[in-house]
Amino acid sequence: VLTGQLARMERALGQFMLDLHTTEHGYEEVQPPLMVRDEVLFGTGQLPKFEGDLFFTPHGDGRLGLIPTAEVSLTNLVREEITAHEKLPLRFT
pLDDT in tens, 53-88: 999 999 999 999 999 999 999 999 999 899 999 999
Cβ within 8 Å of residue 33, ≥6 positions away: 67, 73
Q: What is the pLDDT of residues 46-59, one digit of tens each?
A: 999 999 999 999 99
Task: Pick the closest to residue 78 from 69, 68, 91 (CA basis).
Answer: 91
Q: What is the pLDDT of residues 6-43, one digit of tens each?
A: 999 999 999 999 999 999 999 999 999 999 999 999 99
| pTM for this entry | 0.77
User: Measured in whole angstroms, how far is the alpha carbon of residue 59 from the centre of its chain?
Assistant: 20
Q: Where are the domains of the chain?
A: 1-29, 31-83
Task: Kindly report whether the peptide bond that precedes residue 89 is cis, defined as omega within 30 degrees of 0.
Answer: yes
